[in-house]
């Protein structure tokens, strides 16, 4: 099946998918998210629902965005990003927390994630739930204060970046709210697992030692935590 034009347009940098103002059952892809301009492409409700069910698109507040799988599909269809190699690479700048607790900027492949090294034994829904959580986390303002308190309560109180710039960004605020709702829905025990495995990128062996789990039980516990996220995101 060929990749639809609207999906290829949505894969462009800055493009966003929004409901049309005069027809809530139709949607448009807008360059830079500017809804005042003519949409790059349009689609109906049925096509959008089908793309969501297939894991290609997911909600982002009132708008919609491509999942990592959806973006990779569009990239393959366009043949861009340096041909075949580019299909599997989308380099972006991301903030990561190192072992010393410092916040650092690194270049990473956006089509890969901490889940990549943990993918064996995880279901597609579990991986999709983890990727969705990570996307919101890195879009939010939660990376700003680097502390040793990783609880949801501490994150909820976390201020924005210097000067309050992050808190003035509606996109970051909405992403932060989605992260907090996801952690609350997952529960305290699962929250600790998700933050350690996905955000701090600790290995399964490290998790087993720190939490006192049995050897080789880490993947099963992580899968349970991701199941809780999948239920929250209505993927199950």
Supply the DSSP symbol for 38: P
Residues 131 and 171 placed together within one structural domain of the fold: yes
Residues 131 and 32 placed together within one structural domain of the fold: no
Which residues of 53-118 form beta strands (DSSP E)? 57-60, 63-66, 91-97, 103-109
Average pLDDT, the chain: 76
Rounded-to-5 percentages of helix, strand, coil across the chain: 50, 15, 35
Residue ending a domain, choose from 55, 78, 101: 78
DSSP alpha helices (H): ranges in 54-198? 68-78, 124-139, 152-157, 170-186, 188-194
Mapping DSSP to helix (H, G, I), strand (E, B) and coil, where does residue 100 land? coil
For residue 83, is it within any domain? no
For residue 89, is it within any domain? no
Residues 172 and 60 placed together within one structural domain of the fold: no
The least confident of 8-12, 132-136, 159-163 is 159-163
Task: Classify strands 23-30 and 41-44 as parallel, antiparallel or unpaired.
Answer: antiparallel
**Cα distance between the two ends of the chain:** 25
Task: Classify strands 57-60 and 41-44 as parallel, antiparallel or unpaired.
Answer: unpaired
For residue 101, is it within any domain? no
Task: Please give the model's pTM, rounded to 2 decimal places.
Answer: 0.48
Residues 126 and 200 placed together within one structural domain of the fold: yes
Whole-angstrom Cα distance, residue 104 to residue 38?
39
> Which domain range does residue 225 map to?
109-232
Average pLDDT, integer, range 195-213:
86
Q: What does each C-alpha distance from 231 to 66, 92, 173, 187 come to in angstroms?
A: 20, 29, 23, 12
pLDDT digits (tens, 9 = 90+) for 114-143: 666 666 678 888 988 988 898 888 777 675
């Amino acid at each position: 099946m060929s990749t639809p034009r609207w999906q290829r347009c949505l894969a462009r940098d800055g493009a966003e998918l929004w409901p049309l103002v005069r027809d809530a059952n139709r949607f448009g892809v807008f360059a830079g998210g500017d809804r005042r301009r003519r949409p790059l492409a349009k689609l109906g409700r049925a096509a959008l629902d089908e793309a969501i069910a297939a894991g290609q698109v997911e909600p982002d507040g009132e708008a919609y965005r491509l999942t990592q799988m959806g973006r990779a599909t569009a990239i393959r269809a366009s043949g861009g990003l340096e041909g075949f190699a580019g299909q599997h690479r989308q380099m972006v700048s991301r903030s990561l927390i190192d072992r010393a607790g410092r916040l650092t900027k690194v270049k990473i492949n956006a089509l890969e994630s901490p889940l990549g090294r943990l993918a064996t034994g995880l279901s597609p829904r579990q991986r999709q739930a983890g990727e969705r959580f990570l996307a919101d986390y890195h879009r939010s303002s939660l990376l700003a204060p680097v502390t040793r308190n990783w609880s949801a309560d501490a994150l909820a109180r976390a201020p924005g970046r210097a000067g309050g710039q992050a808190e003035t960004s509606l996109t970051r605020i909405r992403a932060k709210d989605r992260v907090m709702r996801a952690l609350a829905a997952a529960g305290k025990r699962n929250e600790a697992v998700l933050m350690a495995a996905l955000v701090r990128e600790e290995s399964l062996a490290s998790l087993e030692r720190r939490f006192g789990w049995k050897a080789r039980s880490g993947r099963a516990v992580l899968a349970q935590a991701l199941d809780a996220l999948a239920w929250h995101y209505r993927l199950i």
